[in-house]
Chain A
Amino acid sequence: MNPRFQPGDRVKVLHRDQPGHVRTPMYVRGKTGVIERVVGSFPNPELLAVGHSGLPYKMLYRVNFRQGDLWEDYGGPAEDTLEIEIYEHWLAPV
């Protein structure tokens, strides 16, 4: 499986309003960040959650966000950052 994104790529987290168990918290949806690293391919947790095998596996990335881009009213230096793991189907290129 080839990763669609590479470190340094700018990406936007999709909204994907879908029911069921997902690992993408609301606060990053719709936000733009930068791929920090390609973690590798992992079973899809949305399918594991309903007792399936998690196939097909999903590429997982660590995405870095500027806190100033996540929260309009961020109380510290806007250069503070947050990193979180996002599966490929939740990401779009910017």
Chain B
Amino acid sequence: MSETHDHSNEHDHATHTHDGKPIQEDPLPSLEAQILEASVRELLIEKGVISADDVRRAIDQVESRTPALGAKIVARAWDDSEFKALLMSDSDEALMAFGVDMRPTELCVVENTDEVHNMVVCTLCSCYPRPVLGVPPAWYKRRDYRSRAVREPRAVLQEFGTQIPDQKQVRVHDSNADLRYLVLPQRPAGTEGWDQEKLARLVTRDSMIGVSDALAASDIGG
């Protein structure tokens, strides 16, 4: 992930990874967008608003935030009921132990149970608990997910391979204002006695958005 962020060249970085394989992804920005980006960045640097070093460090910060942190938080909540109670009631305080600062937003943790399955969307833009999950996946930002997650959540869940029985309530959270949502998935069966590090390996990004469940113990050879 970090092999490209000190390149100043605008072209080479996005076409190949360090092992030389072409990256399959959205088209490169248009020439117009490349010109605008370089122009804005250079003007902001010339005006003393930001420095090139600030940009590099901010990119490091973007890259340092990954769903691995969210997974650690979930694993601890599974393993430590006191921590879980704090996380659900005063997430700011609970997240201090992980060095996470959500301001100016607040983290709202919603727990999956035998009765309720939670799922998160932001219909108006792409609000997402970035300090604990990193940048949102592309599908989370697209029109398809944003439009349909509120109106036909069960159909969308099925597109992720997630089948929720009719007797279980599906609860959609539209993350539209000042809270950011993290789903606390159900702890999989057969994980009694596992330590937090091993538990964290079951916690996927998608399970913390609520479009899937956590992995099964057998998925990681447990």
Contact = CB atoms under 8 A, between A and B. Distances in A.
Q: Do A and B bind each other?
A: yes
Interface of A: 23-25, 27, 39, 42, 45, 60, 62, 67, 70-71, 74-77, 79-87
A85 B177 contact: yes
A27 B176 CA distance: 12
A70 B172 CA distance: 12
Interface in B148-200: 150-155, 166-167, 169-174, 176-179
Nearest to A27: B150
Contacts, number: 67
B124 A25 contact: yes
A77 B166 contact: yes
A52 to B, nearest CB: 15
The 4 residue pairs across chains A and B that have the minimum distance between CB atoms = A85-B177, A84-B174, A82-B172, A76-B154
B123 interface: yes
Among B106, B123, B150, B155: residue with most chain A CB under 10 A: B150
Majority secondary structure, A binding face? mixed
A25 B178 contact: no
Interface residues of B, number: 21
Contacts of A75: 152, 154-155
Contact of A85 (B155, B170, B171, B179): B179
B177 A83 contact: no
A77 B155 CA distance: 12
A83 B172 contact: yes
Contact of A45 (B152, B174, B177): B177
Nearest to B172: A82
A24 B124 CA distance: 9
Given A75-B152, A75-B155, A85-B178, A80 B173 contact: no
B176 A84 contact: yes
A65 B174 CA distance: 11
Interface string B139-153: 000000000001111
Given A76-B153, A76-B154, A25 B169 contact: no
B178 A42 contact: yes
Contacts of B170: 76, 80-81
Contacts of B123: 25, 27
Contacts of A74: 151-152
A71 B169 contact: no
A39 B172 CA distance: 18
Nearest to B123: A25
A85 B180 CA distance: 11
A49 to B, nearest CB: 12
Contacts of B171: 80-83
